[in-house]
Structure 1
Amino acid sequence: MTELRKTHLDRVAICSLLLCCALWGLNQVAAKAGLSEIGPLWQAGLRSSGAALLVWAWAVARGIKLFERDGSLRGGLLAGLLFGLEFACVFVGLQYTSASRMVVFIYLSPFVVALGMPFIAASERLNLRQISGLVLAFAAVAWAFSEGFGQAAANPQQWLGDALGVLAALFWGGTTLTIRASRLSRVSAEKTLLYQLAVSGLGLCVAAALSGEAWPAAWSLRLSGLLLFQTVVVSFASYLLWFWMVRHYPATRLATFTLATPLFGLLAGALLLQEQITLRLILALLALAIGVVLVNQGPQRQAK
C-alpha cells in the first residue's frame, strides 16, 4: 500500500524540525571548533563514514532491508555525491569565513527547493502569500547576521568561504530535490541516508588522502567529543529524522522551516562563545516566525 504524504506540517513535524534546527545550529560551532585539530575533509569524511556504520547497524537491528534491488541506485549515488560536495564546501569554506557567515549562505537552500519542487510536484507550488512568507523568513535571517557585514573582512580570502557556502546551499537543495524526484522517495529513510553517508564518507576520505591533508597527530578528548557529536547526534540521528520527514511532508515547507537553524546557531554561539544577543536578533526571530506561519498557511491539497 502506498503511504499518503501529508499536505501540511503537524505538531510532530514542527517539534522534530525545531530539534533538528537546534542540533544543526550547534553543528556549525562543532565543525568550526574541530578545524583547529583536524583537516576539513578528514573531519567531514570520518563523521559521514562513522554515521554510515551506525545507520547500517540500526537497520540490521530493526530488520530493514538495505541492499535489495528497488531501482534507487542511480538516485542514491547522485544524492550521495551532492551530499558529499555540500559538506566538502562547508568544511573547507569554514577555514576562510566565520561560522555565522557560512550558515547564512547555506540556508539559501530553501530557495533552490522552492524553485525546483513545482517541476516535481505541482501540489507544492507556492502561492503569493507563501512566497511573501519565504522572502520574509530569509530576510529575517539575513538581517540578524547583517550587523557584521559592513566590517572589514578579517581574512582576505573570506569571499572564497562565502562562495563555498553558496555552493553548499545549491548542493543541499539539489539533494532534497533528488530524493523527491527519484525512487528514493519510496524507499526507507535508513536506505536514503545510507546512500548519502556511505558515498560521501568514502569520497571525502579519498579526497582528503589524495589532497595530502594531514591526519591528526593526536586525538584529544575535545576532538573525540566533537566528532562523536557530529557523527552520532547530527549525521546519524538528526539526518535520519530529516530524511524521514522529506518522504512524508511537503519538501518546500520543510526546507523553509530550516531557516530557523542560523538563529539557533547564533544562540549557540552566544552561549558557548559568549557572543552578545542583540535586539536585532530578537526582532529577527519574530519576523522569522511570522514568515514560517505564512508559508504554512497555504491551501489544503489532497496528498498524492
Structure 2
Amino acid sequence: MSPQRHTHLDALAMALMMGLCALWGLNQVAAKVANAGISPVLQAGLRSAGSVLLLLVWCRFRGVRLFDADGSLAAGLAAGAMFSAEFALIYWGLEFTPASRAVVFLYTAPFVVALCLHWLVPAERLNRMQSLGLIAAFGGILLAFGDNLSLPDGRQMIGDAMLLAAAVMWGGTTVLIRTSRLSSVRPSKTLFYQLGVSALVLPPASLLLGETGIIGQPSTLVWVSLAGQIVVVAFASYLTWFWLISRYPATRLSAFSFLTPLFGMMFGAWLLGERITWGLGGAMALVAAGIWLVNRK
C-alpha cells in the first residue's frame, strides 16, 4: 500500500528537516574527527556496513520483509550505486579542491532535484517565486563560502568537476527514489539498498584511491565519532529522510538542505575552533528566506 502523499510540508516535516540538517552539519565535524584515524572513503564504507547491520536488526524486530520481490530491485541497486559514487566523488574531489570551495559546487544538488522533477512529476513543479527562493537559498551558500571562489587552476577544475558530478549523483538519487518503485516501498528497504551497495563498493574504492585505511592506532574519540555516524546519521537520520521523501514533495524538502553547511560551519567553530566567515548571518537570512519562498502556500 502506497503511503499518503502531502502537497505541502506541514509542521512535522519542517521540524524534522531542521533537525536532520543540524545532524548532517554536526556529522561534518564528526567525519573530520574520525579522519584522524580512518581514511574518508573507508570511513564512509565502514559507516554503511555498521548501519546496514543495525538496519537488519531493526527490520527483524519490526517484522519488515526486506527480501520480498516487489519490483524495486533494479531501482534500488541503481540508487545504491549512485549513493556510493556520490561519496567516492566527494572524497576524491577534496584531494584537488578545498572543502570550503567544494561546498558551493556540491550544493547545486537541489537544483538537479528541482529541474528533473519539474519535468517528471507535475505535482513537484515550482512557480517563479519558488524558483527565486531556491536561488536565494543558494545565494546564502555563496555568501558564506564564496570568499574561497576564484578562477580555478588545473587541479581545482578537476576537483570542481568531481563535486559537480557528486551533486548530480546526490540529486539524481532523490529523483530516482521519488519517481520509481522505491517511492512506494518501505523507507527501510530504500535505505537497505543504499547502505548495502555502498558497504560493498566503498571499501574497495578506498583501496583504488590509494587511501591509507586505518591510520596508526585510532583514538577512542575516533571510534566514538564513527559509532555516532553509524547509529545517528546513516541509520536514524537517513531512515527519517527516506520516510519524508515518500510522503512530502522532494523539491520542497531539498530546499532545507542549504542549511546543512551553515550548521556545519557553526558546529565547526564551536567544537573545533574553526573560522566563521563574515557572511554567516546574511547567509542564514538568505537561506531562511529561500526556504520560506519555496514552501509558502
TM-score range, shorter chain: over 0.9
Match of 1:270? 269
Asked if structure 2 preserves the Cα contact closer than 8 Å seen for 1:28 and 1:103, the reply is: no
Which of residues 195, 198, 213 is equivalent to 1:197?
195
Asked if structure 2 preserves the Cα contact closer than 8 Å seen for 1:176 and 1:251, the reply is: yes
Amino acid in structure 2 at the alignment position of 1:9: L
Alignment of 1:224-239 (within 5 A): 224-239=223-238
Asked if structure 2 preserves the Cα contact closer than 8 Å seen for 1:35 and 1:95, the reply is: no
Match of 1:215? 213
Q: 1:87 to 1:57 in 2, by over 3 A?
A: same
Alignment of 1:70-149 (within 5 A): 70-149=70-149
CA distance in structure 1 between the partners assigned to 2:290 and 2:206 by the alignment = 40
Task: State the shift of 1:38 in Å.
Answer: 2.0
Considering only aligned residues, what root-mean-square deviation do their CA atoms show, in Å? 2.0
Asked if structure 1 preserves the Cα contact closer than 8 Å seen for 2:2 and 2:185, the reply is: no
Match of 1:302? none
Task: State the shift of 1:228 in Å.
Answer: 1.1
Match of 1:187? 185
Match of 1:301? none
Asked if structure 2 preserves the Cα contact closer than 8 Å seen for 1:138 and 1:259, the reply is: yes
Q: 1:278 to 1:93 in 2, by over 3 A?
A: closer
Task: State the shift of 1:210 in Å.
Answer: 4.9
1:248 match: secondary structure: coil
2:69 match: secondary structure: coil
| Further displaced range: 195-204 or 23-32 | 23-32
CA distance in structure 2 between the partners assigned to 1:194 and 1:143 by the alignment = 37
Amino acid in structure 2 at the alignment position of 1:296: N
Q: 1:103 to 1:226 in 2, by over 3 A?
A: farther
Amino acid in structure 1 at the alignment position of 2:242: F
CA distance in structure 1 between the partners assigned to 2:167 and 2:89 by the alignment = 9
Task: State the shift of 1:41 in Å.
Answer: 2.3
| Further displaced range: 130-139 or 162-171 | 162-171
Match of 2:163? 165
| Further displaced range: 209-218 or 5-14 | 209-218
The two structures have a TM-score, normalised by structure 1, of 0.90
Task: State the shift of 1:279 in Å.
Answer: 4.8
Task: Give percent identity, aligned residues only.
Answer: 49
Task: State the shift of 1:114 in Å.
Answer: 0.3
The two structures have a TM-score, normalised by structure 2, of 0.92
Task: State the shift of 1:96 in Å.
Answer: 3.9
1:173 match: secondary structure: helix
CA distance in structure 2 between the partners assigned to 1:277 and 1:236 by the alignment = 30
Task: State the shift of 1:201 in Å.
Answer: 1.1
